[in-house]
Amino acid sequence: MVPLRSRLADGREILYFDEKPGRVPVPDPRPLPATEPLCETRRDPLTGDWVTVTAHRNTRTFLPPPDQCPLCPGGPASEVPDASYDVAVFENRFPSFSSRTPGVASTVDGQELFARAPGNGRCEVVCFTDDHDSSLALLPVSRVRTVIEAWAERTAALSAMPDIKQVYVFENRGVEIGVTLHHPHGQIYGYPFVTPRTERMLAMASAHQGDLFADVLAAEHAAGTRIIHRGEYWTAFVPAAARWPVEVHLMPHRHVPDLAGLTAAERDELAFVYSDLLRRCDALYDTPLPYVAAWHQAPVDARDLVRLHLQLFSVRRAQDKIKYLAGSESGMAAWINDVPPEDIARFLRNG
SS3 for the chain is CCCEEEECCCCCEEEEECCCCCCCCCCCCCCCCCCCCCCEEEECCCCCCEEEECHHHHHCCCCCCHHHCCCCCCCCCCCCCCCCCCEEEEECCCCCCCCCCCCCCCEECCEEEEEEEECCCEEEEEECCCCCCCCCCCCCHHHHHHHHHHHHHHHHHHHCCCCCCEEEEEEEECCCCCCCCCCCEEEEEEECCCCHHHHHHHHHHHHCCCCHHHHHHHHHHHHCCCEEEECCCEEEECCCCCCCCEEEEEEECCCCCCHHHCCHHHHHHHHHHHHHHHHHHHCCCCCCCCEEEEEECCCCCCCCCCCCEEEEEECEEECCEECCCCHHHHHHCCCCCCCCHHHHHHHHHHC
**Catalytic positions, please?**
185
